[in-house]
Structure 1
């Protein structure tokens, strides 16, 4: 039996007996705003104002604007409140409140050549234009054409005779490309993208100016990477929905939808900042939707709280200029092009002591969130589909000191999920806490980086990067502290399917001092080192211990004192629960149990005779990462999957869950070649990711469809069509589908055989066959959440997971209880008093136990799952549950 220094039930009981202070009622006046109101009205609920701006003209500290459902095309510039009396702008709660940054474009006329045009004034800087067709992003005219997903780009490839400012390409259409923007992803090892301007063109040839031509890793020429595309030219308009803005004539050109523009709506961006708090403090913004615009605080802002924001299409731009010298914290240099647009994009939390929480931030050419200043908080947010222009703009860019960035889910980013660029941050990076974040599907438009990336020369004294999970990304590492940075402390982190390494501290022929990694767990899809420090001239004081991983832990042995590497478990079979699915917690008998060493400030919750190795202490509740909002849990649990190829080759590695294994077709790509995946059982999903690795040798599929089948014999029409050549390509279905078999069929030819490293599936909600962590439940009733597990449930309390995808008949729950008689947890469907699917008897002696029961009947489909406590006043704490066949 393992000794316990602290009973979980005792700890949660202490929390539950602490009085909860109710939020003080907002003092001051309350004004109502509704689309049917009048700005000459009194602002009562019966006689509301028409615009939010009119309400903001009236409010004083302590006042509230309650906004009723509707669309508001205006920019909000709230006045400041005070620390004890903030100004509040909040959705009333009767439906969505949309602050729309666009205006309708009308007056369309035939412009010849299959185009229509409208005379309209768009924002002063044409680089930030955005156009929407029927409330969907319309693509700027582009050659070669690409699909609707900007993170799955189609590139042209220049010939090897190209030079730094010249492109030879026999496929380039014969047109006048002068003035077009040339977007480059090229060089010997292109760790960022860049843009230039076409100065002349001829058949198969293009001259351009700009780009980072002095930097060999990032230049066009006879390089391993010669990818480019063209935008910003009328010559590129050739498919429905594409647009071009003639800034001199103030005229917007559009390729109309099939059937004409009638009955379609076109809007264009007019306001970069729908909510501009750059001169405001002590303002609460709650429950607003932003469309085609963003929100920012300012350098002097303090006490701003942004809660339950839903922001979509927040930033758009078409060029990547060198950051102006005024934005730089370091001396100007050509390499600083990587920091382009970091300060121009995203939801921006600047200043001191401001908070962004419980929000969804999606669709941005640049940052998802920029946090800058001191002591700001970004917590429990879902950030996705950002950074597609390919500079260092991440899901969250962290500049400054003392910030708290926790419990965020960040997925599908062009480069890093979390990043710090010293070019604009400077070298100080003190006392930042980055914890309990789930970061995945990063590095969609770059090859040199990681989900967590910081660079360069940074001093991370007092900062802690802990309890994060990084996975399923096409970069090189899970956590990457690059180029001369020191004093970074990492611990209790998890990584799998991150390429070469779990963690890499890169000295890069310079110092890498006092960096640490402790009690971390690394799983499949790591090919070189579990944790490593390399290339350092001075690695003094670095320390690696209590790490579990499949590959060695290494550190350059230089410095005084020399780096410490000890007490680590290197094993392909360390006793993980399920490594392929990232469940890296320990099972009974694991050699990591009680095998770790004590590390001050790190091994603080030890059970047993010594700390365990790895990120999870055996016998303790399993902590989780990410947000608890809808959409935060999507990955479908990997089971006993198999794959067959139409060419007869062995395709098993495409579904082994390891991104470092690769299947290659036996012949150059041709329409009709296919892979068929048997999932072993029916699964519910709405997106398939095909990971083809980090190289661009023409081996990514040039186009494919995805079809599904229930029996492997009868196949319906394709659910998705994909074109593009990015590392990972996503097939998105119009709706959720349930199937056992999935077929990927090529639709285009290519010069080389196609490759597949990994196939993954995602659903619109959590997969109940995965481990549903109780602290990430969509809603809880009657008890509090913890970092791991719930508080103690009493009779009538419940935990709910909304829209879970279920296909099973066995429920397993991990519980901690002291109940001896008459206690149970009931699984009910779709409501707390909905149909009873199972009852789990609850008994225990105050330790964590797994209980499995058979459901009354097999449950399939999408359901809201409620686990309802029945019995005594103090029944059990819940860690996790699953429903499996």
Structure 2
């Protein structure tokens, strides 16, 4: 055995050990196996002793051998980086045969990369601390830059002018943008805000974050790129429902008196260490290093490819029996949002694209020429994608440092396995299964198993994305995943339910027998609103027997306004059973919707059974919505250990929670900073960061300034998560202040947020909140679920909390993000009051607490059971 053979064999064994005890076994070497190493040669035979160098050559050897398989053929990829100059494109020739598989087997630190290293950094004269380097050859654009595995921030900041919308863009209050280096590089981003605490509501719905490029700036005239502008401002609205689009997906106009939230990708905003800018015309990358970074020795990567793996089977010649194991997929981008198409978001990363799309897409049956069978919206592409396939497997892989969706299993993907992978640091969706158009020619997406994966810290760029999004599919299972620290919903299923807003039935589709079970979901909806831990809309089957099953999930720690299990428009035949649900910022389970498939006035059939929740609804049948056998969760600790321990990643695969991913750094910036003022101090709220970057957030650093004086306040993360706000005392009445917020972990403080709108400190009018309304108490043996609706009139300041007085002498202060967001949106509040005596009557008095104190109370009486 030569020295090289010994080394490669050792690395293969090391790779198996690094992947963890739950990893699918590394295939035993066979006579037909192919060996690949970064130091190999494509003129070699591809044996363990003489490996080849590229995956392209490995693919050719595997294709030559595939028709003659007598056992599985494994392509052994040694540790190291395999740089792709084009995607690994698969078709039926790459399939296993005779019941055997083609296995692409990584070994520990195997990386398939679409990136190019950036070298040749030099200081920029006249710009202290700024460095520049030539763009790598063979590429002319990218949206991401990474230094030692850390995603850096494109130069961004506040808009320096006020804008007034026109048919083609805006008129600016000054000609500032026209004098910037290249206005056509700039994107205007519209973050969904809240009508709360001086935060403006933008976006195309609370669940979206669209962005459109500028085409040109001349004087004060800002011309926006087409078709993004029309697709985001001219959506077809009902004449009698102002602001509501015909297809029911959000408002019809991106502007409507709103300003963009921030400007992205402008050289003039390159002012913070860790920011970068690509000057496309000069083919030069600019970067402002952090204090600890030495660009002479750093690994600086820009993604060049938009696809790493592109599996394109056909209905008659599908890709079959292919597995990818132990591989890290990294450094791919997605350039459509940089084009005139922009990112005109609908929901879950789907967009309007194409000239005139606003007038046709998603409008089947509503307007002449509306696209059918329903949506025809554009799905985020996967940087790794497979369609028209049978028995494709991705296991023990890492999907990270990606610029689109991570993995897309498209139309016709059947019996696929996605198991024990990590999905993190991805711009958009994590895993996409199927689509939102009904498949043509009978080629269903079906039998897909998405199990035992860890999905976290995403999406990083398109914040309306979802870790797991499942469209019109059959017999899929999404189970035993852990999903945490995500911007919006954790799992999204179904489509086509919006017509119930105009009293029409949900769009028929082919879905049935899908299961979402035993997932652990927490710290979700950290950036956007109106979603859930598990969000479903549209028809899920033909009956409760084959409709969607949501069972055994443990969901808690919601930040934005929504529901733990959200049964949205047209959600028909869903069973929600045996889940543990708490800490939602509205309801644990969504409210019923009318079923417009007939004229009977019933609700969409739904079964809500045997859950452990804080909602506390009584057993009953509400026109087809059956609620039975649920249990009031007095405290999270009272949840059955059998459900809690079974949720999330199964014991065999729990090593995936410790799977190392490069790119540890300080956290990303928080978002949506809002304030209000009283005498001598500010109240401040914000949305936590999605990306903790390898170390938990321990504190938030607030910087408050009136332009002359600066105050720094450090708030422990635990305190903020408990209350949802912080205070900055010691300020001067009559002065206007802004606040930025940065998150801190063990690796330091990260980027500061964009500043809040200015607010003037001073004593507000001396008025208190009116009484809450609709109070009710739903009793159990030793606890009640207390419900109320926030007061419409809160006096001079918003609601901070609620004071609950119990007739046993206790006073409980209900704080948290839900107390802040429920009042301006008139959503209900829920709190469980435990420690009660069975069979005893209690009175509960509730008052809203504002900056001026506790307001008028409302009382409700209930008797515990038992």
TM-score for both structures, normalised by structure 2:
0.56
Where do 1:453-532 residues align within 5 Å? 453-456=493-496, 457=507, 458=509, 460-474=511-525, 475-476=529-530, 477-482=532-537, 487-498=547-558, 499-507=561-569, 511-532=570-591
**Are the aligned partners of 2:148 and 2:300 in contact in 1 as well (CA < 8 Å)?**
yes
For residue 465 of structure 1, report the CA deviation from its aligned partner.
Answer: 1.9
Quick check: which one's helix share is greater? 2
**Are the aligned partners of 2:384 and 2:406 in contact in 1 as well (CA < 8 Å)?**
yes
Unaligned runs of 5+ in 1: 1-20, 145-154, 282-297, 579-583, 587-614, 635-645, 656-662, 681-687, 709-717, 726-747, 755-885
> Alignment partner for residue 751 of structure 1, among 743, 748, 758?
758
Distance between the aligned counterparts of 2:701 and 2:156, measured in 1? 29
For residue 307 of structure 1, report the CA deviation from its aligned partner.
Answer: 1.6
Question: Per the alignment, do residues 387 and 83 of structure 1 end up closer, same or farther by CA in structure 2, a change over 3 Å counting?
Answer: farther
Alignment: residue pair count = 586
Quick check: which one's strand share is greater? 1
Distance between the aligned counterparts of 1:39 and 1:667, measured in 2? 60
**Are the aligned partners of 1:387 and 1:415 in contact in 2 as well (CA < 8 Å)?**
no
Question: Per the alignment, do residues 156 and 548 of structure 1 end up closer, same or farther by CA in structure 2, a change over 3 Å counting?
Answer: farther
For residue 546 of structure 1, report the CA deviation from its aligned partner.
Answer: 1.8
**Are the aligned partners of 1:502 and 1:522 in contact in 2 as well (CA < 8 Å)?**
yes
Distance between the aligned counterparts of 2:284 and 2:685, measured in 1? 50
Q: Deviations over 1:684-719 (max 9, x none)?
A: xxxx989969xxxx99962336488xxxxxxxxx93
Distance between the aligned counterparts of 1:624 and 1:265, measured in 2? 35
Q: Which residue of 1 aligns with 2:481?
A: 437
> Alignment partner for residue 547 of structure 1, among 593, 606, 611?
611
Distance between the aligned counterparts of 1:118 and 1:568, measured in 2? 62
Q: Deviations over 1:233-275 (max 9, x none)?
A: 555555667555565x572342465999655665443433444
SS at 1:53 equivalent: helix
**Are the aligned partners of 2:539 and 2:573 in contact in 1 as well (CA < 8 Å)?**
no
Q: Which residue of 2 aligns with 1:616?
A: 643
For residue 648 of structure 1, report the CA deviation from its aligned partner.
Answer: 9.6
Root mean square deviation of aligned Cα: 5.1
For residue 484 of structure 1, report the CA deviation from its aligned partner.
Answer: 5.9
Distance between the aligned counterparts of 1:665 and 1:99, measured in 2? 40
1:672 aligns with 2:711: yes
Unaligned runs of 5+ in 2: 1-23, 191-201, 236-242, 244-250, 344-351, 436-444, 497-506, 542-546, 597-601, 661-678, 689-699, 726-735, 762-866
> Alignment partner for residue 304 of structure 1, among 299, 322, 332?
322
Distance between the aligned counterparts of 1:31 and 1:70, measured in 2? 16
SS at 1:315 equivalent: coil
For residue 334 of structure 1, report the CA deviation from its aligned partner.
Answer: 11
**Are the aligned partners of 2:324 and 2:395 in contact in 1 as well (CA < 8 Å)?**
yes
Question: Per the alignment, do residues 45 and 161 of structure 1 end up closer, same or farther by CA in structure 2, a change over 3 Å counting?
Answer: closer
SS at 2:233 equivalent: coil
**Are the aligned partners of 1:647 and 1:673 in contact in 2 as well (CA < 8 Å)?**
no
Q: Which residue of 2 aligns with 1:567?
A: 629
Q: Which residue of 2 aligns with 1:724?
A: 753
> Alignment partner for residue 378 of structure 1, among 409, 412, 418?
418
> Alignment partner for residue 448 of structure 2, among 372, 397, 403?
403
Question: Per the alignment, do residues 496 and 172 of structure 1 end up closer, same or farther by CA in structure 2, a change over 3 Å counting?
Answer: farther
Distance between the aligned counterparts of 1:557 and 1:224, measured in 2? 43
**Are the aligned partners of 1:188 and 1:223 in contact in 2 as well (CA < 8 Å)?**
no
1:356 aligns with 2:386: no
**Are the aligned partners of 1:179 and 1:199 in contact in 2 as well (CA < 8 Å)?**
yes
**Are the aligned partners of 1:306 and 1:357 in contact in 2 as well (CA < 8 Å)?**
yes
SS at 2:381 equivalent: helix
> Alignment partner for residue 166 of structure 1, among 160, 163, 170?
170
SS at 1:472 equivalent: strand
Distance between the aligned counterparts of 1:704 and 1:130, measured in 2? 22
Q: Which residue of 2 aligns with 1:629?
A: 655
**Are the aligned partners of 2:534 and 2:566 in contact in 1 as well (CA < 8 Å)?**
yes
Question: Per the alignment, do residues 359 and 466 of structure 1 end up closer, same or farther by CA in structure 2, a change over 3 Å counting?
Answer: same
